[in-house]
Amino acid sequence: MFSNIKDQELIFRNLINGNWTNSKSGKFIEIYSPIDNSLVGKVPAMTTEEVDYTFECARKAQENWKNTPINKRAEVLYKAADILEDKVKDLTYIMMLEIGKDNKSCESEILRTADFIRFTADASKSLSGESIPGDSFPGFKRNKISVVTREPLGVVLAISPFNYPINLAASKIAPAIVAGNTVVLKPATQGSLCGLYLAKVFEEAGVPAGVLNTVTGKGSEIGDYIVTHRDVDFINFTGSTEIGTRISKITSMVPLLMELGGKDAAIVLEDADLDLTASNIVSGAYSYSGQRCTAVKRVLVVDKVADALVEKIKEKVEKLSIGNPLEIDDVNIVPLINSKAADFVVELIEEAKEKGAKLLVGGNREGNLVYPTLFDYVTTDMRLAWEEPFGPVLPIIRVKDKDEAIAIANESKYGLQSAVFTENINEAFYVADRLEVGTVQVNNKTERGPDHFPFLGVKASGIGTQGIKYSIEAMTRPKATIINLVERK
């Protein structure tokens, strides 16, 4: 099934100014698999001096890169997309080992990312400015014209999470570099083998020295240092609300683009197609064991159809495949990323049980593997109603009507996405208009793609908007050059 990467020792280095570099400290971080705790590989633990040098190189490289024609920058992206596709088998294997994702989802993440990179290259060609005549504003004449172009921001610090180590790194790198920025990527430590592999893909595609650089090290050790570094012009972060909030507190005068946590609700109205609804809820809640920002993390169902819906959901949850992604193709429930994550999910499960929620399926754990868990009659005094488990546990909250569903949905501190299931378009818009989220899905699970759609969280779920065109816009700024023509009498 897999090619020769299988028996290789994965000792990866950082890409700094075009060179593959180890830390002078000689220190490595060992990466263990969440599947069986075996050693997968090592990445360097970089020192602050090495971080300084990396940013210095990125800063210098930006001077040339911003003047490189857009079509040349786009060429690098097209090549990177092709190489990424060629490497899909090897990278799928590394990703499975490193983050425990099933092979089909790893493969689709990689192929989706190749498409993302190509689409970004295409989109860069329509980067354009405008010219604005002065005389449209009262008191000004036609001799004043503003020529507005788009300029890169400088050095972008890209910080990615563990759960989509290729897609959520590339979706920062590609728009940033095509717009003329240089990038320093700090991948999640658990996910850094994938992140460095991706950097290798860009390097092979011909990204010039210093345009893409990587920094590895634990966020708890080097995180504060890199986000407050004087050479950072923009931070594009995806991860937890906790770390995102910390970054926004300790940084100053640096624009931020952040994708954070969520507690996406699936709201089910009485006229919903319950088969379609149950299928969407189960795949939305449990794929990759619920370790997706956009996972369905609560169901708000009106009393009238609650019994029927719960029965259909339960049936499907009981059929989910569970286990080791190296042994079971396309498995739904895999071990969680680490034991701390599993401990947290179990804590939420236990509290819901104690407070009287009805456990319908699961509730048990073996090592990092938490079995798919379904609760009915979850109430708003339980942590499971509000907290993001990032694990395979779904609470069902019964409500009397759509207004109660909307009220509970909006009481959350998060505002990433919500779904509404109904056959009535007026009802769908009634609910969608009132939800405090970035995106509402009508009759579909909550999900990010397709990647050219705007993707954003409100409240504690993020700052700014991603999506191919939106990310390029976020990582450029307008520059106005004003022509003042001499008036001829």
Nearer to ligand G3H, 99 or 235 (CB): 99
User: What are the residue numbers of the active site?
Assistant: 259
- Using CB under 6 A as the criterion, what x/- string covers residues 409-428 for binding ligand NAP? -------x------------
Asked if omega into 450 is within 30° of 0 (cis), the reply is: yes
CA angle 240, 242, 245 (to 5 degrees): 105
Dihedral sign for Cα 351, 357, 358, 359, please: negative
> Which does residue 376 touch among ligand NAP, ligand G3H, none (CB within 5 to 8 A, set by kind)?
none
> Which does residue 218 touch among ligand NAP, ligand G3H, none (CB within 5 to 8 A, set by kind)?
ligand NAP
Return the range that interacts with ligand NAP (CB under 6 A); candidates 147-155, 156-164, 172-180, 345-353: 156-164
CA distance 58 to 68: 15
Among 98, 107, 109, 259, binds ligand NAP (CB under 6 A): 259
Nearer to ligand NAP, 163 or 214 (CB): 163
What does the DSSP 8-state code read for residue 87? T
CA distance 243 to 220: 10
Strand partners, 135: none
Closest CB 251 distance from ligand NAP, rounded Å: 10
Positions 159 through 188 that interact with ligand NAP (CB under 6 A):
159-163, 168, 186-188
What does the DSSP 8-state code read for residue 2? -
Alpha-carbon distances of 98 from 35, 103, 193, 222, rounded to whole Å? 8, 12, 7, 21
Residue 223 three-state SS: helix
CA angle 365, 310, 295 (to 5 degrees): 60
> Which does residue 4 touch among ligand G3H, ligand NAP, none (CB within 5 to 8 A, set by kind)?
none
Nearer to ligand NAP, 105 or 422 (CB): 105
Residue 37 three-state SS: coil
Q: Are 418 and 435 in contact (CB under 8 A)?
A: yes
Closest CB 166 distance from ligand NAP, rounded Å: 12
Return the structure tokens found at 316.
């499907």
CA distance 191 to 43: 10
Positions 426 through 465 that interact with ligand NAP (CB under 6 A):
457, 461-462
> Which does residue 227 touch among ligand G3H, ligand NAP, none (CB within 5 to 8 A, set by kind)?
ligand NAP
If one asks whether residue 238 binds ligand NAP (CB under 6 A), the answer comes out as: yes
Q: Are 446 and 266 in contact (CB under 8 A)?
A: yes
> Which does residue 159 touch among ligand NAP, ligand G3H, none (CB within 5 to 8 A, set by kind)?
ligand NAP
Cα end-to-end distance, the chain, whole Å: 79
Total interface residues for ligand NAP by CB under 6 A = 33
Total interface residues for ligand G3H by CB under 6 A = 8
> Which does residue 260 touch among ligand G3H, ligand NAP, none (CB within 5 to 8 A, set by kind)?
ligand NAP
Nearer to ligand NAP, 160 or 476 (CB): 160
Among 164, 237, 414, 470, binds ligand G3H (CB under 6 A): 164
If one asks whether residue 284 binds ligand NAP (CB under 6 A), the answer comes out as: no
Closest CB 388 distance from ligand G3H, rounded Å: 11
Residue 256 three-state SS: strand
> Which does residue 170 touch among ligand NAP, ligand G3H, none (CB within 5 to 8 A, set by kind)?
none
369-370 and 365-366 strand pairing: antiparallel
Residue 229 three-state SS: coil
Nearer to ligand G3H, 21 or 189 (CB): 189
417-421 and 264-268 strand pairing: parallel
Positions 429 through 458 that interact with ligand G3H (CB under 6 A):
447-449
If one asks whether residue 471 binds ligand NAP (CB under 6 A), the answer comes out as: no
> Which does residue 223 touch among ligand G3H, ligand NAP, none (CB within 5 to 8 A, set by kind)?
ligand NAP
Closest CB 448 distance from ligand G3H, rounded Å: 3
Residue 269 three-state SS: coil
Nearer to ligand NAP, 16 or 226 (CB): 226
Strand partners, 480: 148
Residue 159 three-state SS: strand
Percent of the chain that is helix, strand, coil (3-state, to 5): 40, 25, 35
Q: Given the rule CB under 6 A, which residues bind ligand NAP?
A: 159-163, 168, 186-189, 218-220, 223-224, 227, 238-240, 243, 246-247, 259-262, 293, 388, 390, 416, 457, 461-462
